[in-house]
Structure 1
Amino acid sequence: MSDAADGRTGPPVVASAGSSDPAAPLVVLLHGRGSDERQIVTLAGHLPEGPAYAAVRAPIAEGGGYAWFANRGIGRPVAESLAENMAWFRAWLQEVAPAGRPVVLVGFSGGAAFAGGLLLAEPTRYAGVALLHGTLPFDAGLSVEPSQLEGAHTFIAQGDGDHVIPRDLLDRTWAYLREESGASTRSHRDAGGHGLSAQAVGALAGWVAERLDLAR
């Protein structure tokens, strides 16, 4: 990978919204593959007031946008790429949100897989992790044993008409988070495709508000 295509030479590009208080709870928005921080930051306008919102640009240039990891196929990260970029992200997060500052991750599509990797690696690091229309990064060097996410809080949203992420990965993620992981999981499913419905955003907003109120 060339330096031009690899954004891990420094801290990420971030689009901010919400509170500018460095002690405010932080909601990190992780965009989908081929998108960027400018698109996902618009979600902040539909989420609770009070937190700081940071929409982070993924480090790999791809298709006019950016990606969080190299792929073996849709929803199937290359383990080494995922691990490297998770380490890069965690170094940034430690700078902006040291211990004591509540952090919620909200990932869409490829960003959901990345958020899922961060969750599996450190289940209790986050006040909550939301996976929107995406899969956990199965078979990518991270444990998905039963009860791996004991003590974690997750939100999952899927659409029955989603034909972008392979259905077997969506179903496996849904079942694992709700039945096997040990996490406390809130779930939303509707008839939509690979995009957030108003109902899903409303459910997400309620969950984010609840998680941050409890985290305080």
Structure 2
Amino acid sequence: MPTAAAAETPVVARAGSPDPAAPLVVLLHGRGSHEREILTLADHLPSAAAYAAVRAPIAEGAGYAWFANRGIGRPVPASLRTGMTWFRRWLDAEAPATRPVLLVGFSGGAAFAGGLLLDDPSRYAGAVILYGTLPFDAGVRVTPGRLANVPVFVAQGTHDTVIPRELLDRTWNYLHDESNAALTSRRDPAGHGLTLPVVEALSAWLHTRLA
């Protein structure tokens, strides 16, 4: 399996506003998926933003992954760090610090988005954690108050059998009780996949952030 460092310039699929000053929403796909799949989400989100769906750097099966795992939802710390460094090189060239950047991650992409946010909370205008866990015990700081006043949207399915329930609960509890994030959250009677009510809520949340 190639490492994140083996990849060069990320493969990026784009949608939404072509304005280079428009807020940038970075879409991060799940493990074993690819950028074109998650880009379809942009069709249901506010058109005022620029959307960049980035392909993860590690080939896995028919798709790609953001980091090597010690188990589902448990990143290998060195692999997560390598991937985040690779991503930040791209992001810092793509968007100056004055351009608002929001992260939207699904499943494995949610863990990666959470790692990026926890590593440098001030870099992002907000983050979305969809059907995934934060990367606990993976070399990023998950400390009380770490996300103070950062807008975060988290959605989970009560019937999700892909991400371990212990990690989903730990993520939920940290975001609600310890992070101090400006949190919007929902749990729905669903499995490991986006539902129309969640997409609609996400669109409304993004609209508020963009305004």
TM-score (norm 1): 0.95
Residue in 2 that maps onto 1:56: 54
Question: Aligned partner of 1:123: which letter?
Answer: P
Deviation string, structure 1 residues 117-149 (Cα, Å, up to 9, x no partner): 001001121111000000000000111111111
Task: Report the identity percentage.
Answer: 65
Work out whether 1:170 is the aligned partner of 2:168: yes
Give, in whole Å, the separation in 1 of the partners of 2:41 and 2:20.
20
Give, in whole Å, the separation in 2 of the partners of 1:22 and 1:95.
12
Deviation string, structure 1 residues 144-175 (Cα, Å, up to 9, x no partner): 11111113110000000100000000000011
Q: 1:136 aligns with which of 134, 137, 158?
A: 134
Give, in whole Å, the separation in 2 of the partners of 1:183 and 1:166.
23
In the alignment, structure 1 segments of 5+ residues that lack a partner are none
Question: In structure 2, the residue corresponding to 1:142 is in which secondary structure?
Answer: coil
CA contact (8 A) 1:48 1:208 kept: yes
Question: In structure 2, the residue corresponding to 1:124 is in which secondary structure?
Answer: helix
RMSD: 1.1
1:7, distance to aligned residue in structure 2 (A): 6.7
Deviation string, structure 1 residues 58-82 (Cα, Å, up to 9, x no partner): 0000011000000000000000000
Residue in 2 that maps onto 1:112: 110
Residue in 2 that maps onto 1:194: 192
Question: In structure 1, the residue corresponding to 2:89 is in which secondary structure?
Answer: helix
Q: 2:86 aligns with which of 85, 88, 95?
A: 88
CA contact (8 A) 1:6 1:61 kept: no
TM-score (norm 2): 0.97
Alignment coverage as a number of residue pairs: 211
CA contact (8 A) 1:117 1:136 kept: yes
Give, in whole Å, the separation in 2 of the partners of 1:121 and 1:176.
16
CA contact (8 A) 1:188 1:203 kept: no
Give, in whole Å, the separation in 2 of the partners of 1:6 and 1:156.
26
In the alignment, structure 2 segments of 5+ residues that lack a partner are none
Question: Aligned partner of 2:72: which letter?
Answer: I
